[in-house]
Chain A
Amino acid sequence: MSVRYIPVQWNRNKWFYDGVLLAAAILYIALFLYVAPPLADHARPVDAPIWRARAFGTCAYLMLTVILLIGPLARLDSRFLPLLYNRRHFGVLTFFIAIGHALFVLDWYFAFSRTPMLEALLSSNTAFGHVVGFPFEALGILALLVMAVMAFTSHDFWLSFLGPKLWKRLHLLVYAGYLAATGHLAFGAWLDQATVGLTLLLFGGAGAVAVLHVLAAVKERRMTSTASPDDDWVPVCPPMEIPDKRGRIVVLSPDERVAVFRNGDTLAAVANACAHQNGPLGEGKIVGGCITCPWHGFGYRMEDGRSPPPFTEMIPTYRLRLTDGMLFIHGKANPPGTYQEPVRLMEGGMT
């Protein structure tokens, strides 16, 4: 949260997460390098440097695939939320492994001529007008560039400096990066040698990413109730329809969502976007009296949308009223951190 910046904010959970991640990546690369070669098709032998490049390349692609699976999985089933917790470290490690792949490729395919390596890489294949023989190297460069932007802007400073909205937009480039990486793999290594493993990785991984993103988008459309902003006050639902210590997301306009929370007999409304990474607060719950973001655990008091001291994050609050057993919300947000008297229910669910 917003305290003095340090290089990396590690805690016990993050150490564990990163340790498992690193061990899995090392294990994958070791298996690829030492177990897979004897099982490979000896009709088309592959040189050791190419094995190394492919080990790192497929590892990076697999990691990028898992990164993209975590988001929709967490939206579909909250048991996957812990995986979301430290996804930025996952992304940074993926970038370094992708760099390893790029260096192995440069040092093998482009290292034995008088032409400088980068120049050779950029000029060796320029058949952009062809599907077969398409310069998949360019797609790899694009994917690497996207991963670089994401890794370089992964520190909390960037979230604060750019603002969560711009930061999120920048990090949505991961979709473009993943498509580029998929094209790089499909039109490069897979067209050259469609082994069972590579086919599974490409079609199974990318297919799972596609299917889960569609399922998550469909679920999100279903779970949000849309309010008509014609009136200043828009209906939400009867208060007891909101489960205790949970929220209900209300869509005021295409880009404005509000999270209405119930904590026992108290109701309050705040912006649905967490001040940290714009995580969906309405999908979180109340922990220790604070609305807690499901993504990274940032907490906000119900009555004023402020993080408890020493933290300083603030989110907008909204006015609520209860009329004839129906909860209404005012469509105009209060500035972040504004105190707003919560609605209190009398016995039987009415004020």
Chain B
Amino acid sequence: MNAAETAQFLIAAAQLWLGAGAVIAIAFLLFGLDRVEPNARGGYVFRVLIAPGLVLLWPIVLWRWRLAASGREAWRNRHTPQRKAIGRLGFGLAACIAAILLTALMVRPDGSTPPPPEKLSLADIRGWS
């Protein structure tokens, strides 16, 4: 598969993904939202704002829709943030930033600027052509 074919495949896959997402988003907005989210009842304009997320993240939407409808989610899950993981992420972020900047510095050309433009006379231009 060459570069053009890969690009076409990626675009087709993205279109398929978004198409499936659009179908699920419409179904959720029509049949799921009011059941799983009491605060949504009577509110309609905000649905326009959440629609792009429903389209983009449709597998998560399906999973959460099913979980919310079944009422099987453990309450503890909503109250135990992974603070320790966030701390580790902070160190990881710093290390990755350092790696990117160092790599960029190492591969950067020597920084010499190209020679300044030379002012040509009309005769030079005619001679060249």
Interface residues of A (CB under 8 A from B): 2-8, 41-44, 72, 115, 118-124, 126, 131-132, 148-149, 152-153, 155, 157-158, 160-166, 168-169, 172, 175, 178-179, 182-183, 186-187, 190-191, 194, 202-203, 206-207, 209-211, 213-214, 216-217, 220-221, 254-257, 271-273, 275, 278, 280, 315-316, 333, 335-336
Point out the residues of chain B lying under 8 angstroms from A210, CB to CB: 93-94, 97-98
Report the interface size for chain B: residues with CB under 8 A from the other chain: 62
User: In the complex, how many angstroms separate the beta carbon of B23 from the nearest chain A beta carbon?
Assistant: 17
Q: How long is the Cα–Cα vector from A278 to B96 in the complex, in angstroms?
A: 26
| Residue B86, interface by CB 8 Å | yes
| Complex CA distance for A50 and B72, rounded to whole angstroms | 53
Closest residue to B8 on the A side, CB-wise? A119
- Residues on A with C-beta less than 8 A from B7 are 118-123
Cross-chain contact B104 with A162 (CB below 8 angstroms): no
* Cα separation A119 to B2 with both chains bound (whole Å): 12
In the complex, are the beta carbons of B94 and A273 less than 8 A apart? no
How many whole Å from B13's CB to the nearest CB in chain A? 11
Residues A217 and B97 in contact, CB atoms below 8 Å apart: no
* Residue in contact with B100 in the complex, picked from A7, A179, A194, CB distance below 8 Å: A179
B45 cross-chain contacts in A, Cβ below 8 A: 6-7
* Given contacts A6-B45, A178-B93, A161 and B68 within 8 Å (CB-CB): yes
Chain A to chain B contacts (Cβ below 8 Å), 8 pairs: A4-B40, A120-B7, A122-B11, A152-B50, A152-B53, A152-B57, A190-B104, A316-B79
A336-B43 contact given A7-B48, A194-B111, A211-B94, CB 8 Å threshold = no
Interchain CB contact (< 8 A) of A163 among B48, B56, B73, B89:
B73
Closest to B102 in A: A186
Chain A residues within an 8 Å CB radius of B57: 149, 152-153
Q: Which of B8, B84, B92, B111 has the most CB of A within 10 A?
A: B84
The listed residue (B50, B87, B88, B98) touching A157 by CB distance below 8 A is B50
> Which residues of chain B are near A216, meaning CB under 8 Å?
90
The interface residues of chain A lying within 8 Å CB-to-CB of B107 are: 131-132, 191
Does the CB pair B93–A168 fall under 8 Å?
Answer: no
Q: Verify A153–B53 contact, CB threshold 8 A.
A: yes
A213 partner, pick from B37, B53, B82, B93, beta carbons under 8 A: B93
Find chain B residues with CB under 8 A from A275 CB: 78-79
Counting residue pairs across A and B whose Cβ atoms lie within 8 Å, the total is: 188
The answer for the CA separation of A131 and B104 in the assembled complex, in Å, is: 9
Q: Determine the residue in chain B with the shortest Cβ distance to A115.
A: B4
For the complex, what is the distance from the CA of A164 to the CA of B108, rounded to whole Å?
42
The CB with the most chain A CB atoms within 10 A, among B41, B100, B103, B107, is that of B100
Indicate whether A6 sits within 8 Å of B90 (C-beta atoms), given known contacts A207-B101, A256-B80.
no
CA distance A202 to B102 in the complex (A): 12
Which residues of chain B from 43 to 60 have any CB-CB distance to chain A below 8 Å in the complex? 43, 45-46, 48-50, 52-53, 56-57, 60
A7 to chain B, nearest CB (A): 5
**A2 closest partner in B (C-beta):** B39
A273 to B100, CA, bound (A): 33
Once A123-B7, A316-B79 are accepted as A-B contacts, the answer to whether A161 and B64 lie under 8 Å apart by CB is yes
Q: Which residues of B contact A2 (CB under 8 A)?
A: 39
Q: Judging by beta carbons under 8 Å apart, are A217 and B77 in contact?
A: no
Which A-B residue pairs are the 5 nearest by beta carbons? A152-B53, A122-B7, A210-B94, A213-B90, A186-B104
Interface residues of B in 72-129 (CB under 8 A from A): 73, 75-84, 86-94, 96-98, 100-101, 103-104, 107-109, 111, 113-117
Contact partner of B6 (CB less than 8 A), chosen from A8, A122, A202, A280, is A122
- Cβ of B39 to closest chain A Cβ, rounded Å: 5
A163 CA / B43 CA spacing, docked (Å): 20
CB pair A43–B56 under 8 Å, yes or no, is no
Residues of chain B lying within 8 A (CB to CB) of residue A178: 93
Give Cα A207 to B94, complex, Å.
Answer: 8
Cβ-closest chain B residue relative to A337: B75
Residue of B nearest to A206 (CB): B97
